[in-house]
Structure formats: C-alpha cells, structure tokens
Amino acid sequence: MLVLDRIALILTIIGGLNWGSIGLFRYDIVAAIFGGQTATLSRVIYTLVGIAAIWCISLLFRDHRSD
C-alpha cells in the first residue's frame, strides 16, 4: 500500500469518526479542537478529509492481486 493511500485512509477514518460523533452526540471534534467550524484550520482539516475520501474511491478500482 502506498504511503499516500495510508494517509488518505487515516484521514477518511478520522472524518468518519468525526461524523459519527456529530450524528450520535451532536459534537464536532474537529471544530472543538480547532476553534469552530468556520475557523481556517478546521476548514483545512475538512478539506483534507474530503480530498482523502475522493482518493480512497480509487482504492475500490485498483487491482490488488499480486502477480
């Protein structure tokens, strides 16, 4: 697995956990840590997680068989 794949997967997991906490507890972990949903750093994190999720789509279509 490529390093970029692992980073994307980690960021996607973080995003999923954050959405889970929002859905279950109405608590946005990223916003709490970085100063609210509109804070620049929070928006950067949200953007990176979104890009990582798009990258992870490519994992579905790769040939993982070892030849």
The answer to whether residue 65 sits within a structural domain is no
Q: What is the extent of the structural domain holding 30?
A: 3-60
pLDDT of residue 63: 82
pLDDT of residue 34: 95
CB-based contacts of 27, cutoff 8 Å, min separation 6: 21
The answer to whether residue 18 sits within a structural domain is yes
Number of domains in the chain: 1
Per-residue pLDDT of the chain (67 residues; tens, 9 = 90+): 689 999 999 999 999 999 999 999 999 999 999 999 999 999 999 999 999 999 999 999 888 776 4
The answer to whether residue 33 sits within a structural domain is yes
The answer to whether residue 53 sits within a structural domain is yes
At how many degrees (to 10) do helices 3-25 and 40-60 cross?
A: 120
CA 66, CA 53: separation in Å to the nearest integer? 25
pLDDT of residue 66: 61
The answer to whether residue 67 sits within a structural domain is no
Cβ burial of 8 (10 Å; 0-12, 13-18, 19+) is buried
Q: Which amino acid, 5?
A: D
